[in-house]
Structure 1
Amino acid sequence: MREGLQPVSPSTIARLLAREGDARRVADLIGESFDEAETAVAAFELPDESGWTVEIYFANPPIEAAVRDLVAHAAGNEAAAALQFEALSPKDWVAASLDGLKPVRVGRIVVHGAHDRARVPANALGIEIEAALAFGTGHHGTTRGCLTGFDGWWKARPARRASVARRRAALALDVGTGTGVLALAAARTAQQRVIATDIDHDAVTTARANVRFNKAGALVKVVHAGGLDRAEVMAGGPYQLVFANILMRPLIGLAPAIRRQLAPGARVILSGLLPAHARAVVAAYRGQGLRLLRRRTLEGWVTLDMELPGGR
């Protein structure tokens, strides 16, 4: 998935500083009111604890009056008047994505850009990702939530690591791979094959370039696909691990297809969710026989660690 659900080449960003309750209500209402494929919204606490901010990304310029009306409904007229819109170009977005970003470390994995290559510790597993038309630099709460879930799963199951090495199936499937960061993290940590898919041609191109640059071409296969019925995906299963960092509606719609690709005992890490959406996704996967192990919230975004029982 593109970093934090942002659309490719967003044209406009709207920002609002608010109290926590207002910020959450605005984010929930905006998320429910706009097409998830065209608009993304996040609410998160500022690092200095001075308040909360709402960021709304629009793939196309919005009708500002309509957005302000929604904000007023959720948080009052004062908040609506305080909402600020800013036009972005693709160049502006890439620069903003890199500005001030430091390497992100989760366990042994360090995700970094070229400008921080020298800062990666010698004992770390460095994955170099540049901001591009596909999002996924590792800094957003959705990506970090998935990396954290993977790190915990990998460290907790040494016996499974040994058994995976003997299997002909791929270790993991990364649905909506974006830049390929999650697929790269799993493949390079485990030294096992991973299949990565994305519906977006730009994301597939970017992910393949990142796989080559990180010298993981023998481990990660990136497939252009909108579902899980492609021959390459089906041939790679059954999978011990599935990442799906996308959107609520596709996550729910893909639940049966993901279930069919799972090995007994498989872990499924789902993200790209606002808090108000998590319950529906949990219900969809419970309906497929999975159980919820952990709900993790980072920067206002929810990641779900789920498991298919069996295989122990």
Structure 2
Amino acid sequence: MREGLQPVSPSTLARLLTSEADARRVADLIGESFDPAETAVAAFELPDESGWSVEAYFADPPDEAAVRDLVALAAGAEAAAALVFEALTPKDWVAASLDGLKPVQAGRVVVHGAHDRHRVPANALGIEIEAALAFGTGHHGTTRGCLIGFDQWNKARRAGGATLRALDVGTGTGVLALAAARAARLPVVATDIDRDAVVTARANVRFNKAADRVRVLQAGTLTRAGVVDAGPYDLVFANILMRPLIGLAPQIRRLLAPGARVILSGLLPGHARAVVAAYRGQGLRLIRRRTLEGWVSLDMELPRSS
């Protein structure tokens, strides 16, 4: 998934198609070499799995020879020669993001930007997220897949009884945590490795009046006290990527209550089988797989007898 936000009105785009390792090295070196207020750089896997792309946006036209020299240092002369520069037409990126954002609905939950507040049905549960932050990548299929999985779980679960608990791993803007807190009235722990994401999620939780139910923590693993002490969890969201999903499988398993539902996403179709295998290895079973807009989400469950 793409990381980072484009600067306001960039004038020039530099793009390189390459391997994952070279893409990350190039992105790191360019990011370290230019003023972050004037430049934004991202490395991300292409949706068709044909490789990785590096995109660097410059507020002012850069010294192209200097940029190529940096690419050569990071990935070699061949990559430097393959770097493509493109002049961009001035554009209001905030307005563009608002134009491209449509409300995302799953059951009663409708995730929307402020500009679409009037479009939320009277009987729906609206969750308002700042559009430029919540949907900067445009990968709506991952969030919507998780929301659909949550809605199906929420409708099927037994009413009453013990209080259920939820965990949102890689919460981002807090959308899924807010859905669980407001639609199912669950206490939720939400984690993210990125400090800016944690700040954003906390602001969204306050704005959507869920601060009494959602606790947002900065954490790169699931072993810190604030996460462990709040478990075990009956519902877990993890909308991230294949490698961290596989790596976190043992940690997630240790936090689950019997019968827990685990909703995983952020996966390309070719990645789903490996993730299913990792969680089956932890004793979970696959309940449902769905594909939306080219992204796969998986509903998995820990049997009550485990």
In the alignment, the residues of structure 2 paired with residue 6 and residue 144 of structure 1 have an alpha-carbon distance, to the nearest angstrom, of 18
Letter in 2 for 1:195: V
Moved more, 127-136 or 271-280: 127-136
In the alignment, the residues of structure 2 paired with residue 200 and residue 8 of structure 1 have an alpha-carbon distance, to the nearest angstrom, of 11
TM-score by length of 1: 0.74
Question: Higher relative CO (CA 8 A, sep ≥ 6), structure 1 or 2?
Answer: 1
Q: 3-state DSSP class of the match of 1:177?
A: coil
In the alignment, the residues of structure 1 paired with residue 293 and residue 22 of structure 2 have an alpha-carbon distance, to the nearest angstrom, of 21
Check 1:173–1:137 CA distance in 2 against 1; reply closer, same or farther (3 A cut): farther
Matched, 1:309 2:303: yes
Match of 2:202 in 1: 208
Q: Select which of 3, 22, 37 maps to 1:7.
A: 3
Alpha-carbon deviation of 1:40?
3.9
In the alignment, the residues of structure 2 paired with residue 13 and residue 182 of structure 1 have an alpha-carbon distance, to the nearest angstrom, of 34
Unaligned runs of at least 5 residues, structure 1: 15-25, 44-53, 71-79
In the alignment, the residues of structure 1 paired with residue 299 and residue 89 of structure 2 have an alpha-carbon distance, to the nearest angstrom, of 34
TM-score by length of 2: 0.75
Match of 1:293 in 2: 287
Letter in 2 for 1:106: A
- Structural mapping, 1:4-83, within 5 Å: 5-9=1-5, 34-35=23-24, 38-42=43-47, 58=54, 60=56
- Structural mapping, 1:1-312, within 5 Å: 5-9=1-5, 34-35=23-24, 38-42=43-47, 58=54, 60=56, 93-133=93-133, 135=135, 140-157=140-157, 159=158, 161-163=159-161, 166-167=162-163, 171-310=165-304
Superposition CA RMSD, Å? 3.7
User: After TM superposition, which residue ranges in structure 1, 4 or more long, deviate above 3 angstroms?
Assistant: 10-14, 29-38, 54-66, 83-89, 91-96, 132-139
Kindly indicate whether the alpha-carbon contact (under 8 Å) linking 2:101 and 2:131 is maintained by their aligned counterparts in 1: no
Letter in 1 for 2:44: T
Kindly indicate whether the alpha-carbon contact (under 8 Å) linking 1:135 and 1:179 is maintained by their aligned counterparts in 2: no
Kindly indicate whether the alpha-carbon contact (under 8 Å) linking 2:284 and 2:300 is maintained by their aligned counterparts in 1: yes
Report which of the two structures shows the higher radius of gyration computed on alpha carbons: 2
In the alignment, the residues of structure 1 paired with residue 285 and residue 102 of structure 2 have an alpha-carbon distance, to the nearest angstrom, of 35
Kindly indicate whether the alpha-carbon contact (under 8 Å) linking 2:238 and 2:264 is maintained by their aligned counterparts in 1: yes
Q: How many equivalent pairs are there?
A: 267
Deviations along 1:268-307, one digit per CA (max 9) or x if unpaired, are 0111111111111111111100111111111111111111
Letter in 2 for 1:38: A
Deviations along 1:88-122, one digit per CA (max 9) or x if unpaired, are 99x96544332232222111001111011111111
Check 1:276–1:93 CA distance in 2 against 1; reply closer, same or farther (3 A cut): farther
Kindly indicate whether the alpha-carbon contact (under 8 Å) linking 1:108 and 1:125 is maintained by their aligned counterparts in 2: yes
In the alignment, the residues of structure 2 paired with residue 183 and residue 100 of structure 1 have an alpha-carbon distance, to the nearest angstrom, of 24
